Amino acid sequence: MARLPRLSIPDIPQHIIQRGNNRQVCFASEDDFTAYAHWLEESAKKYQVKVHAWVFMTNHVHLLVTPSCETGVSNMMQTLGRKYVRYFNSIYKRTGTLWEGRFKSCLIEEDNYLLLCQRYIELNPVRANMIEHPADYRWSSFHANGYGQKAKLWTAHPLYLQLGKSVIERTKAYRELFVGHLDKSIINEIRDVSNQGMVLGSEQFKKQIEMLSGRRTSILKRGPKPKTEVLV
């Protein structure tokens, strides 16, 4: 089956997943995380992509971004990927690919799903049983969103800013969103649409994206299994 073209529309947020090839380690030291964050910030600024949330795990990365042009995200990820692979291969005396093919991404409806996706991203280390609370993980945007810590990489999304009139109000309201865990149905939905390059949102939003992009935005439902003929 032919691969669908990537969905990327200016000013509409995207969830991005970048994995190590065969789930191999992509970050083996604190310096590796620092280098990746530096080139992500540099590439995001160059291609005018706003980064709202992130988590860097040992073998994959999650990002929540908003591009200002159609090619912004692709250009950012290509530039970032090349620079980091050169660095990683040089440091660890290796050759060949590091990433698992092209990155995964999906468009996100802001009003109902953006903050859900932020929580999904920042709770990743918790779901992996690495920590008990997202604040315990260093390489995450939770410190910016949840405590107002300054980060060059971070741009607050307008929906996040609506959580309160001041930094204290916003961060308190944001932390309260993490009192409970995300429903498994939401977790599975985010995973499925991200891995298949679809759209996370309402049916109305999906139809709007279909009209703008000219391509399918929903995962095809599997049909019933064909009946097998019983030989007698």
User: Vertex 72, ends 84 and 193: CA angle to 5°?
Assistant: 85
- What pLDDT sits at residue 222? 54
Q: Please, what's the b/e burial string for 165-199 (b: 16 or more CB within 10 A of its CB; e: otherwise)?
A: eeeeebbeebbebbeeebeeebeebbeebbeebbb
Where do the domains of the chain lie? 14-213
pTM for this structure? 0.91
Q: Once rounded to an integer, what is the mean pLDDT over residues 118-132?
A: 95
Of the chain, the percentage scoring pLDDT greater than 70 comes to 93
Neighbours of 82 (CB within 10 A): 12
Q: Which of 37, 33, 78 is nearest to 58 (CA)?
A: 33
Strand order in the sheet with 199-200: 49-56, 60-67, 14-19, 104-108, 199-200
- pLDDT of residue 224 exceeding 60, the answer is no
Dist. CA 120–CA 112, nearest whole Å: 14
- Phi and psi angles of residue 189, each rounded to the nearest 5 degrees, phi first: -65, -45
Q: Report pLDDT digits (tens) over 61-96.
A: 999 999 999 999 999 999 999 999 999 999 999 988
Q: Which one has a higher pLDDT value, 227 or 182?
A: 182
- pLDDT of residue 227 exceeding 70, the answer is no
In this structure, what DSSP letter does residue 225 have? P
Q: Report pLDDT digits (tens) over 1-39.
A: 457 788 899 999 999 999 998 889 999 999 999 999 999
- What pLDDT sits at residue 218? 75
Q: Report pLDDT digits (tens) over 166-201.
A: 999 999 999 999 998 899 999 999 999 999 899 999
Non-local (6+) Cβ contacts of 82 within 8 A are none
Q: Which of 14, 35, 42, 41 is nearest to 106 (CA)?
A: 14
Dist. CA 145–CA 198, nearest whole Å: 26
Classified as helix, coil or strand, 202 is coil
Specify which residues 66 forms β-bridges with: 50
- pLDDT of residue 231 exceeding 60, the answer is no
Q: Please give the mean pLDDT across all residues of the chain.
A: 91
Q: In whole angstroms, how far apart are CA 72 and each of 55, 66, 68?
A: 20, 9, 7
Q: Domain 14-213 falls in which CATH fold?
A: Alpha-Beta Plaits (3.30.70)
Dist. CA 160–CA 220, nearest whole Å: 32
Classified as helix, coil or strand, 105 is strand
Least confident of 9-13, 71-75, 138-142, 214-218: 214-218
Helices (H), 5-123: 30-46, 72-91, 110-122
